[in-house]
Structure 1
Amino acid sequence: MLTFAPSLRRLLRRSDARYDYYAAQYQARTPAARAWYLAFYLLPGLLVYAAINVAPVYAAGLRLTGLAGPVYQYAWLIGITYGWHLLLPVLVLRYADGLPWRDIPDFLGLRRPDWAGCTWLLLLVFVVFTLLTLPYMRYVQQPLYQWLDQVPAFRIPAYSIFKSAEALYGFPPVWLALLLIGNFVGEEVYFRGYLQKKSAFLGRWNVPVNGVLFAVYHFFQIPQTWPLVVPTLIFPLLMHWRKSLYVVILFHLLINLGWSAVVQWALYGGGQ
C-alpha cells in the first residue's frame, strides 16, 4: 500500500510550473481581497436566485422586460454564463491584474493541452467516480433533496426552468446548445481556471472550499445541487491534479451527459 500510493499520485498528477507560478503570483493577498474573492464564488448565483427565485423580483423583471418567463430566465442565465463567468475574469486579469492578453489563456489553464488527462485518464477517473458516487446518490443525495425541498426559501419555484427536464430542455436546439456549452465551459473557466488560483491562499483547503462553494453557488437550484456538495469536489481536485482546464471542461461535459444518465438509470430505471 505504501508503494502503491506514490505510484497512484504519479499517475494522476501532472506538474506545470506555469500553473504554480500564476497561483503563487496572482492569489489574493490582503484580507479584503481574500474576502472579496471568496464572495466572488457566490455572487453570480445570488444574483440569479434574486432575479428568478424571489417571486416579487421575478414578476417585476417580467413586467419591465416584457419577456415570457422562460425567455427571461434564459436571458439571465446566458448573461451570467457568458458575461460574468467568461468575460469578467478576462477583463479583471487584463485591467486589474495587468496580465497581458497573450498570457490570459495560460493563466486560465488553456495554453497547453493535457492529452493523457483528456483521454484514457479522464475515462478512468469517470468510471471510478461513477462507481463511488452511486451509493452516495441513493442513500445521501435523495434524502437531502427531499429535506431541502421542504424549506420554502430553498424550493425551486414551479415556474423555474430548472423545475423539470421538460422545461429546461424545451428551448430551441441552438438556444439549448448555447446554454449547455456556457454551463460546462463558463463554470469551469470561472471556478477552476480563475477562482481556484485566486483562492490559492487557502493552501490545502483550496480544493474543498472551491468544491463546496461551487455547489453552494447554485442558490437557484438548492435542492438539486446542494446535496451534490461531496461529488462536486472532483472538479477542483481534477484541476489540482492535472492543472489543465481542458480536462475539467471535458469531465464536466461527461458528468452532465454520461454520469447524470447513469445515475438516473441506476436510481429510477434498472437500479430499483
Structure 2
Amino acid sequence: MIKIRPSVAHFFNVSDPKYVQFLRQYDAKGWKQITFYISMALFPGLLAYIGVFHLRESIMLWTGMSSHYAQYTVLVLLTAGWHIFVPLLSLRYVDNMTLKQSLCYLGFRRPDLKGLLLVFPLLAIIMTLLSIPYLHTIYPPLYHFFNSIPWLAIESWHIYVVGYYDFPFFLLLIGIIGNFIGEEMYFRGYILHKLGSVKGDWIIVGVLFNVYHFWQAPINWAYIPFSIFIPFELLVKLRKNIYGAIALHLFTNFLWGTITYMLAGVR
C-alpha cells in the first residue's frame, strides 16, 4: 500500500473537521436516498436530450427560433435554471437550511488562493499529461462507436457542431453562468455532497457527470473510463470549496481540449 507523506497530503488537502461534520449531517441515508440522488444526477441530462433531439423541431415551429437557438434555449434552461435553483430550493425546503448555509454547503466559501494558484494548476497539468495517451488510443474508437448509434449521433445540425458560444453577449453570459457555475453547483456542490457517505463518491459523481450528457453522448461517454483521472470532484473534496472545480471546468472547455487534441493528434 502506497503511503502519502503528511507534508504532501497537507499541501493538497485542507483540514476542516467542522465543515466536514456540517456536510455529513445531510448525507443521503440508505440506498433509497442514494438511488434518488443518483437519478437526480441523470434526470436533467435526459430532459436535455429529449429537448435537443426530439423537441427541437417543435420548439422551432412554436417559437420561430432557429435550430441553433432552440437547442441553446433548452440547455440554458437546464444549466442556468435546473442546476442552480433545484439545489437551492431543495436545501432550503427539504434540509431547512438558510441561504448562507446552502451556499456554504455547495462550496461557496472563503476563496482559496492556494487551491486556485497552486493545487488547481498542478492537478490540471497532471490530468492533461495523463489524457494524451488516452485520447490517442482509447477515445477515438469509443467516440466513433457511440456516434454510430443513430439515436446518439452528433449530426451537422447539433449545437456542438454549429457552436456552443456563438451567441450575443447577454445570452452567452447566461449560458456561461449555467455551464460553469450551474453544473458545478449541481454536481460537485450538491450531488457529490449528498453522496458523501458512499465509498468512492468522487469516482461515482465523475462517471455520472459524463453519463448525464445524453445530448452529446459520443463526446462525454467516450471519457467515462478516464473519469477517475479528471479531478473536478477531488478538488472539491480536498480544498473544501467549489472554486477550483469551476476554474478547472473553464480550463477544460476553453483550453484543455485544444491542447490535448493537438498533442494527441485527435481531430
Q: State TM-score, norm by structure 1.
A: 0.90
1:108 aligned to 2:103?
A: no
The Cα of 1:214 is off from its aligned counterpart by 0.5
2:261 to 254, 264, 269: 264
3-state SS of 2:159 partner = coil
Q: Deviations over 1:105-148 (max 9, x none)?
A: 11111122211101122111111111111111111111111111
What count of residue pairs does the alignment treat as equivalent?
265
Q: Which amino acid aligns with 1:185?
A: I
1:32 shift after superposition: 3.0
Aligned to 2:221: 226
Cα shift at 1:2: 5.8
Once the two structures are superposed, what CA deviation does each residue of 1:57-84 show, in whole Å capped at 9, x if it has no partner?
A: 3322322333221111111111111111
Aligned equivalents of 1:115 and 1:17: distance in 2? 20
Distance 1:132 1:18 in 2: 34
Q: What does 1:136-175 align with in structure 2 at a 5 Å threshold?
A: 136-162=134-160, 164=161, 166-175=162-171
* 1:182 aligned to which of 160, 168, 178: 178
Tell me what 1:211 maps to: 206
**1:248 aligns to 2:238 (yes or no):** no
Contact 1:22 1:197 in 2 (8 A): no
Q: 1:104 to 1:147 in 2, by over 3 A?
A: same
Q: Percent identity?
A: 34
Deviates further, 4-13 or 33-42 = 4-13
- Distance in 1, matches of 2:139 and 2:172, equals 27
What stretches of structure 1 of length at least 5 have no aligned partner?
A: none
* More off after superposition, 18-27 vs 1-10: 1-10
Distance 1:132 1:265, change over 3 A: same
Q: Which residue is equivalent to 1:48?
A: 48
User: 1:4 deviation in Å?
Assistant: 5.1
Q: Write the distance in 2 (CA, Å) between the matches of 1:3 and 1:159.
A: 51
Q: Return the offset for 1:185.
A: 1.1
Q: Distance in 2 between matches of 1:109 and 1:179?
A: 21
- Residue in structure 2 matching 1:85, options 63, 83, 86: 83
Aligned with residue 61 of structure 1, among 47, 56, 59: 59
Alpha carbons of structure 1 residues 18 and 86: separation in structure 2 relative to 1, 3 Å: farther
Contact preservation (8 Å) 2:80, 2:175: no
Moved more, 244-253 or 1-10: 1-10
Q: Distance in 1 between matches of 2:57 and 2:38?
A: 30
| Alignment-mate amino acid for residue 38 of structure 2 | L
Structure 1 residues 195, 3: CA separation in 2 closer, same or farther (over 3 Å shift)?
closer
The match for 2:8 is: 8
Q: Deviations over 1:92-114 (max 9, x none)?
A: 10111100122111111112221
* Structure 1 position 155, deviation (Å): 1.0
Preserved CA contact (<8 Å) 2:76 2:175:
yes
Instruction: Tell whether the 8 Å contact from 2:203 to 2:227 is kept in structure 1 after alignment.
Output: no
Deviations 1:207-242 (A, max 9, x none): 111000000000000111111124444211221221
Change (3 A) 1:62 1:22: farther
1:184 & 1:259 partners in 2: Cα distance?
A: 15
CA distance, structure 1, for counterparts of residue 227 and residue 125 of structure 2? 15
Q: Is the 8 A contact 2:120 2:235 kept in 1?
A: no
